[in-house]
């Protein structure tokens, strides 16, 4: 998995651009490659049905946009729990943050179908283009887009499969360990299913408020055979530095808005308060400064509540994209110990993204080989729909997805619908389309001569 392939050193630190430069994500790169590869192949295959290359370009751009819109909307519906703020502004903002969750193909299929219908009605219909011939020409292109797009899902660390036993990991495509902290696995593997900890270790319950002498994280338990264990992290270690910076104590103030704002402002004026405090928090590098500051404002009549954490907790909660390593310095029995950098990884998961890439490549070969032998126009698209729906239904059984009815996931129901639609299309086309097989049959020979009696 590689969420960020590289950074372009341009406009570093300007506006929302990070100091490393403009990040080029693996998911975005694969989407771009999908668009380029499918556009050029579609232009070549469009000539089979008499469509000019520029019209094919227009169609691909239009279908790409409507497909992305449909895919994102369906994702936000299926995973609505990931979008707690249901306000229109918040949902609109989340819509464009594709890298934080992803897209669902069946949503793109629906959006693409709507987009194709509009494009056909307003453009292709006036050009007397056969929609069924066009569908046959574009079926392999659709499979190619799926094959490349799923590589993007793999790089992004989304759409993974169920937990795989460690014995299958040495087998090609048998199991994969994704970097945990910057991937979506943090939400499902840690917060929702509780299959593992955030970084290979758990934190002991911390003292809070005015009674806390030092609320910085103390390691409670280290997962067996995890990267954290392999670099020597031990239970009882107090984490004092994270990625070379002090593990600062972060203080938030809850309660009445006005009182909380005054208390937070007072905290920031106390000795030792960091000038790099967050918008809604104050931070302290020295525990003694923290204790003195909290005791100064944590009065019973203040009407506020002090909630503290540390830089480690804040970092894990919102891990920067593209950053994989975690480096810790700990206090162990009064001694400062530097822990080697390590990459927290998920437990073994089936790489179902790559399973789809492999299956779609096989579908491409089948479609290209069958194209000269198709019975009627539209049959190649029927085969593509059937092949994908069968694959997706089986592949979903290896995914961690919620069931929505009769034990099936939303995508499995989509597979059933797509397969049924393909079957209905085939039955319809057999009735209305002339058979190439019959046309290709050799004409009957002359009648046999009757021997003279």
Beta pairing class for 238-242 and 22-25? unpaired
pLDDT at 176 over 60: yes
Kindly state whether residues 278 and 406 are assigned to the same domain.
no
Give, as one character, the DSSP assignment of residue 124.
G
| Phi, psi for 44 (deg, rounded to 5) | -70, -45
445 lies in a domain?
A: no
Number of other residues whose CB lies within 10 A of the CB of residue 16: 6
Same domain, 30 and 135: yes
In terms of residues, how long is the chain? 453
18: tokens are 């990070």
The verdict on residue 446 lying in a domain is: no
Please give the pLDDT value at position 209.
Answer: 52
Q: At 250, which helix (H) or strand (E)?
A: strand 249-255
Residue ending a domain, choose from 278, 306, 338: 338
**Residues in contact with 298: Cβ distance below 8 Å, sequence separation at least 6, in sequence order:** 209, 210, 304, 306
Same domain, 154 and 280: no
Q: What residues make up the domain containing 298?
A: 197-338
365 and 260 share one domain: no
- pLDDT by residue (tens digit) across 423-437? 999 999 999 999 988
Strands 328-332, 304-310: pairing is unpaired
CA distances from 382 to 307, 377, 396, 420, 427 (A): 58, 10, 21, 10, 10
388 in Cβ contact with 143 (< 8 Å)? yes
Shared domain for 68 and 108, answered yes or no, is: yes
Residue 441 has pLDDT above 60, yes or no: no
Last residue of a domain, one of 338, 361, 395: 338
- Domain check: are 222 and 369 in the same one? no
Find the distance separating the first CA and the last CA of the chain, reported in whole Å: 85
| pTM, entire model | 0.83
Distance in angstroms (rounded) separating the CA atoms of residues 209 and 220: 21
Structure confidence by residue, pLDDT tens digits, 204-225: 987 655 556 788 999 999 999 8
**Do 117 and 61 share a structural domain?**
yes
CA-to-CA distance for 262 and 285, rounded, in angstroms? 22
Task: Indicate if 297 and 201 belong to the same structural domain.
Answer: yes
Instruction: Check whether residue 136 and residue 68 sit in a common domain.
Output: yes
Same domain, 130 and 255: no
d(CA 206, CA 312): 13
CB 211 within 8 A of CB 294: no
Q: Is there a domain that residue 307 lies in?
A: yes
pLDDT one-digit tens code per residue, 322-343: 788 999 999 999 999 999 999 9
Same domain membership, residue 275 and residue 207: yes
pLDDT surpasses 90 at 418 = yes
Please tell me the predicted confidence (pLDDT) of residue 416.
97
Q: For the residues of 175-194, what is the DSSP string, one character each? A: -B--BSTTSTHIIIIIIIS-
Quote the pLDDT of residue 83: 79
Residue 141: pLDDT above 70?
yes
Residue 453 maps to a domain: no
* Alpha carbons 94 and 84: distance in angstroms, whole number: 11
What is the pLDDT at residue 445?
62
* 321 plus 353 within the same structural domain: no
Give the 3-state secondary structure of residue 14.
coil
Residue 191 is assigned to a structural domain of this protein: no
Q: Is residue 204 part of a domain?
A: yes
Q: Computed from CA positions of residues 322, 21, 67, 364, in that sequence, does the dihedral angle turn out positive or negative?
A: negative
The region of weakest confidence among 51-65, 80-94, 154-168 is 80-94
Confidence of residue 181 (pLDDT cuts 50, 70, 90): confident
Q: Which range has the worst mean pLDDT, 78-92, 153-167, 403-417? A: 78-92
Instruction: Give strand ranges (E) for 93-248.
Output: 201-203, 219-222, 238-242, 245-246
Count of domains observed in the chain: 2
């Amino acid at each position: 998995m590689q969420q960020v392939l590289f950074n372009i050193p341009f406009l570093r630190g300007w506006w929302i651009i990070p100091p490393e430069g403009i990040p080029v994500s693996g998911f975005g790169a694969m989407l771009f490659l999908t668009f380029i590869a499918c556009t050029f192949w579609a232009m070549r295959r469009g000539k089979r049905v008499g469509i000019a290359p520029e019209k094919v370009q227009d169609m691909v751009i239009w279908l790409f946009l409507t497909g992305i819109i449909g895919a994102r909307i369906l994702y936000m519906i299926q995973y609505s729990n990931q979008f707690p703020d249901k306000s229109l502004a918040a949902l609109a903002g989340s819509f464009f943050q594709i890298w934080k969750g992803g897209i669902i193909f069946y949503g793109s299929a629906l959006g693409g179908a709507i987009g194709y219908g509009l494009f056909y009605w307003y453009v292709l219909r006036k050009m007397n283009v056969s929609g069924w011939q066009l569908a046959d020409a574009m079926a392999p292109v659709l499979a190619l887009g799926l094959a490349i797009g799923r590589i993007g899902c793999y790089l992004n660390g989304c759409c993974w499969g169920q937990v795989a036993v460690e014995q299958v990991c040495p087998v090609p495509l048998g199991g994969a360990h994704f970097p945990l902290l910057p991937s979506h696995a943090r939400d499902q593997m840690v917060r929702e299913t509780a299959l593992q900890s955030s970084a290979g270790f758990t934190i002991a319950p911390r003292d809070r408020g005015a009674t806390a002498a030092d609320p910085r994280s103390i390691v409670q338990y280290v997962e067996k055979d995890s990267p954290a264990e392999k670099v020597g992290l031990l239970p009882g270690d107090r984490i004092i530095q994270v990625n070379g910076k002090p593990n600062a104590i972060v203080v938030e103030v809850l309660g009445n808005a006005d009182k909380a704002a005054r208390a937070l402002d007072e905290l920031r004026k106390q000795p030792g308060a960091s000038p790099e405090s967050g918008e809604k928090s104050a931070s302290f590098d020295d525990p003694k400064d923290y204790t003195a500051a909290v005791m100064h404002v944590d009065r019973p009549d203040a009407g506020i509540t002090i909630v503290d954490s540390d830089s480690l907790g804040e970092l894990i909660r919102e891990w920067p994209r593209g950053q994989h390593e975690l480096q810790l310095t700990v206090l162990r029995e009064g001694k400062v110990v530097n822990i080697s950098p390590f990459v927290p990884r998920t437990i073994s998961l089936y790489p179902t993204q790559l399973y789809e890439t492999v299956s779609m490549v096989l579908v491409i070969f089948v479609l290209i080989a069958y194209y000269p032998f198709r019975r009627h126009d539209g049959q190649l698209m029927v085969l593509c729909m059937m092949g994908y729906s069968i694959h997706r239904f089986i592949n979903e059984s290896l995914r961690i997805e919620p069931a929505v009815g009769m034990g099936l996931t939303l995508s499995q129901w989509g597979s059933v619908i797509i397969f049924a639609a393909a079957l209905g299309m085939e039955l319809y086309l057999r009735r209305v389309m002339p058979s190439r097989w019959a046309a290709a049959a050799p004409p009957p020979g002359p009648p046999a001569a009757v021997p003279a009696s």
